[in-house]
Structure 1
């Protein structure tokens, strides 16, 4: 999907001021409310905007230990293992990957013992061959999308010239 400069400005506002009303966004951007709403609808329909939920902190929820678990899966069981992972609440997200494993799961835990319990639970899932766990020490670059949105906007502006 092509994102133009107005889309980029809209996305920037959504990221920087997520609790602002559509009317206020339109005023800030200097566009009609209908124009803004049509753009937002298109961005949602095209899958650019995927939700409006608040960003939550697992650490503030009592799960300060963050780990990445590489999971090797028996061939042909990737879907079954992924379904089982969806039932483990401590798994924040999981992705199928290339390289030294089949799945990579981001796990939040209360402490090291809790993390070990979660990893042992993963090891008992039918189809899991082995796991390898890496504990995050400190977040160095927080989850962010604004730099990417801005780069896309700059590229769109270059293309228009």
Structure 2
């Protein structure tokens, strides 16, 4: 951890639970004034601890209920070129570097299973992608923000 104190961690926890909370609300939760909380949050952003704020969207509600995780086997040692190409496929929500038989893990969300065929066409057009294995998600039971332990 990069010199974070208990107040910084409490601010991060509060923001991870509700990123729309005001500086005053955050300040009350961590025993700071609103302006002091604002300055802390500004510093955490500047230091790269807070990468951004996001909205948690119900994918079913917007017509994107199909979720799959795709493991990719690639040839060559450098993944950066493949990652740069994969980032252009808008249905890919996450790209992870992995160890083991597969070197890249993708989180892909679409309207329906049939849409995956077009996405696979794009994936396999990426130079170096040799094989894949797909896991289809039937239901997501839980997601949570990063756990922030307040006691170091």
Query: How high is the TM-score relative to the length of structure 2?
Result: 0.87
1:25 partnered with 2:35: no
Match of residue 87 from structure 2? 86
Once the two structures are overlaid, the 10-residue window that deviates more, 55-64 or 108-117, is 55-64
Q: CA deviation at 1:77?
A: 5.2
Pairwise CA RMSD: 1.9
Equivalent position SS for 2:132: strand
Q: CA deviation at 1:91?
A: 0.3
How many equivalent residue pairs? Answer: 151
Cα distance change on mapping 1:93 and 1:64 into 2, 3 Å: same
Q: CA deviation at 1:53?
A: 2.8
Higher share in helix: 1
Query: How high is the TM-score relative to the length of structure 1?
Result: 0.82
Q: Which runs of 5+ in 1 are unaligned?
A: 157-161
Match of residue 100 from structure 2? 99
Q: Which runs of 5+ in 2 are unaligned?
A: none
1:53 partnered with 2:65: no
In 2: Cα distance, 1:42 partner to 1:140 partner: 35
Q: CA deviation at 1:15?
A: 2.3
